Structure 1
């Protein structure tokens, strides 16, 4: 135990310091020389006195340090109580957020305002740890979300901000409730969430076939997946605009990898690509790429237990399938939601069919022909059989916690099948 000797007049004084466990001085003990009571002469300290004092110094040092630490903790607790009023959400707000059921596969946005959908989007980014992991500025995230929302056209019945938000919510649910987040790295999760929100940016309410046949300027830019390429270009434009740089904390290599994954994810939402390679799909679906080939390949990999998580090609297949699964997830929702969404889709398709008659002077296919609305239930059944069932079976094979999508799809198939049979018997008029 360190000590310092001093002379004060006729007194020989020994100062002994109190050292804490972390070796810093917390106090000093001053000792006055012992004096013999009988003779009044000064007596020297013996070894027993020194050991007793050393033990006493340690005891005092620990006591003082604990007192100081307790005082520090109390001050920090007081500060936390003052700041928590502003920093912590109220219990009522927490209950309101839980009532949104963002992690439920049966989620519906119909009762939410546009402002609530943007707030829910922020919540998803926070809950996925994207804000923390990539040091996103809160103002930049808010600005980016609002910019994405603004770039969806309000006069489009289905492919609007609500569809983008619902697609992102399904991805969020797959990652959280479907327990896929732990199987993907942080960059993949970031890319998928950005891609789902951006995958239909500036959609005009018409498909690629119409863009090509009407000789729209966009058709001159890309030979296939015209609108999907345009959606990605819009996504890049928004990400690079002032105030929207939510990727600014990424390294150059991370930035390039993320943009590449976003591009491939958005292009994977061209459903016509999926349909071309699925057998027994009618010739009206035309395209020129491989989405369905990817779907069949991933299905075989999971069914044969050959999926390798370390294989980047396999992971790319999975990301593409997740995008398609989220894009068409309305087919898995509770029947009232599915029926209402189907009405919105039909409205948009019929408007395109009207434009084809009016501007292109062609008879639209049954899917776009409002005069053939009674065929929609049977076409929905065909769509489920050709695309959805295999897709959601594959996802259920990846994670049993994704099975609610398959179950919801199968329930809606039964509903559409009943409607189709009624229409065939002349007992119904479609569903609108």
Structure 2
């Protein structure tokens, strides 16, 4: 009798010869034999699938091993950074909400990040090996792609804002050591391996990432990349934590990175705003603290909107440039019309779009966190000032557009009059 796999293909044959009681084979024997053949087919098929799965797992392990080797910064670079003197936070202006990274080179951004770990007492509190920290930071920097905006510099600026909120904003009085460590690492890693395109683009192109994660696609990928770096020997800065602290840090870290998805921000913002309006809010409650950390991540992620006008305008242009690059790909590859903020042909509307972004996303979160601590209010003030600047820019753009329309209309009239004069002259 044939042995068949799940697709009905014959993969073997069973033969029975001579019953032990020497009687003839009957219909019952035939039915039992057929059931046994089916059972054998299932067993062989499952074994084959198991072998295929084990090979796939082995290949994955090899791929991860190779990837982690190339993703982790060389030890020589870590040793070089380890020997560099680290200036004070005042030297880098890290305590100021108006901080700008523009004057700093890449080495300074790394040293400034080390200073943040030092001033938050995280190195001593969690017995973090200094060489591991240097290699971890270099590895994080290495795993940011050279895209226009969502790169290492953006991650560094987000981290500085979180540091400033903790120190200058006195959020240290609310959050514990493990939360501070998770938030700082979360800010550093929140956009790891960003491709310069958003979640919607991943879904539209049916990318492998979209197949892995149907929601918060890029944010899940950023977290996975973070865990890969933290779990790799040589950059495992959490290796000396107790099991309890490690589990808490990873839990807070995952929530922190996923909370940078604006879709989640919109989902939970209302609850947070209501919470901050209560005079008796209990920040020792785990749910309230989780909500607070999530909003702090969003506030840090969009903090460029609260920087001095010269910085904000330059950053906004970088963000718009990255958006336009995605819009160009949507036009050329997907043959679809991108949304207005992604459409290069609509770049003259940037000031109005910035005002809309501030009103819809930025002001609500900054107004809410300013109620948590008045020392966070500079973020709100900076955001309000930039809104006024963008309104002025919008008015200027509107006047320029109106002037162009008038000039175009006048030009068309002049051409029309010349055409009439020419026709009359020809008739004469």
TM-score by length of 1: 0.72
Of 153, 174, 183, the residue aligned with 1:183 is: 174
Q: Which has the higher contact order (CA 8 A, sep 6+)?
A: 2
Deviation for aligned residue 1:291: 2.4
Distance in structure 2 (CA, Å) of the matches to 1:364 and 1:346? 13
Counterpart for residue 274 of structure 2: 300
Alignment of 1:96-135 (within 5 A): 98-135=90-127
Of 352, 375, 378, the residue aligned with 2:349 is: 375
Q: Which runs of 5+ in 1 are unaligned?
A: 1-86, 274-289
Of 359, 373, 379, the residue aligned with 1:405 is: 379
1:44-73 deviation line (CA, Å, top 9, x unaligned):
xxxxxxxxxxxxxxxxxxxxxxxxxxxxxx
Shift in alpha-carbon separation, 1:428–1:379, aligned structure 2, 3 A:
farther
Alignment of 1:82-161 (within 5 A): 94=87, 98-154=90-146, 156-161=147-152
* 2:400 counterpart SS class: coil
* 1:425 counterpart SS class: helix
Deviation for aligned residue 1:426: 2.7
Alpha-carbon contact 2:186-2:256 (below 8 Å) kept: yes
Deviation for aligned residue 1:98: 2.2
Deviation for aligned residue 1:149: 0.3
Counterpart for residue 265 of structure 1: 256
Counterpart for residue 346 of structure 1: 320
Counterpart for residue 18 of structure 2: none
Structure 1 residue 173 and structure 2 residue 151: aligned? Answer: no
Alpha-carbon contact 1:422-1:428 (below 8 Å) kept: no
Deviation for aligned residue 1:256: 1.2
TM-score by length of 2: 0.73
Alpha-carbon contact 1:419-1:428 (below 8 Å) kept: no
Shift in alpha-carbon separation, 1:132–1:359, aligned structure 2, 3 A:
same
Between 1:342-351 and 1:419-428, the stretch displaced more is 419-428
Counterpart for residue 317 of structure 1: 291
Counterpart for residue 333 of structure 2: 359
Deviation for aligned residue 1:89: 10
Alpha-carbon contact 1:208-1:227 (below 8 Å) kept: yes
Structure showing the higher helix proportion among its residues: 2
Query: Of the two, which has the highest radius of gyration?
Result: 1
Deviation for aligned residue 1:302: 1.1
Shift in alpha-carbon separation, 1:164–1:88, aligned structure 2, 3 A:
closer
Deviation for aligned residue 1:94: 4.8
Structure 1 residue 256 and structure 2 residue 230: aligned? Answer: no
Counterpart for residue 216 of structure 1: 207
Deviation for aligned residue 1:330: 0.1
Alpha-carbon contact 1:104-1:177 (below 8 Å) kept: yes
Shift in alpha-carbon separation, 1:88–1:148, aligned structure 2, 3 A:
closer
Deviation for aligned residue 1:88: 13
Alpha-carbon contact 2:113-2:156 (below 8 Å) kept: yes
